[in-house]
């Protein structure tokens, strides 16, 4: 009888170890809009943004050297460097490279085409 009790307790201990705690969820990567995907990591590529404002994570998509435009607002090329750069034009297009993260934000303000 004693052997049976030891076996039951051993089996219970092993069963308790078998149920591992769930792993913490991995945060999803930021979604990259479809129009940017082919340009990631390809200086000289061109992207026409479909919706603004939009911020693209540098960790998920390197847009350095990519020409970005927004219909009727103009565009600019994402500069090299350590960020902290903002580019704008009279058409209302704006492009900001954030310091530290190097994330790129595209905006458009005012009337399309500066009409």
Domain ranges of the chain: 34-114
Higher pLDDT, 9 or 108: 108
> What mean pLDDT value characterizes the chain?
84
pLDDT digits (tens, 9 = 90+) for 51-106: 999 999 999 999 999 999 999 999 999 999 999 999 999 999 999 999 999 999 99
Residue 1 has a pLDDT of 52
Burial of 91 (0-12, 13-18, 19+ CB in 10 A): buried
What does pTM read for this prediction?
Answer: 0.72
């Amino acid at each position: 009888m004693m052997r049976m009790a030891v076996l039951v307790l051993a089996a219970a201990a092993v069963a308790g170890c078998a149920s591992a705690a769930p792993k913490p969820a991995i945060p999803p990567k930021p979604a990259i809009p479809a129009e940017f995907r082919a340009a990631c990591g390809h200086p000289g590529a061109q992207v026409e943004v479909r919706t603004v404002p939009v911020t693209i994570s540098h960790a998920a998509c390197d847009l350095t050297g990519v020409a970005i435009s927004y219909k009727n607002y103009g565009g600019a090329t994402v500069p090299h460097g350590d960020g902290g750069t903002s580019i704008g034009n009279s058409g209302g297009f704006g492009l900001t490279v954030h310091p530290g993260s190097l994330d790129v934000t595209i905006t458009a303000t005012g009337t399309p085409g500066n009409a």
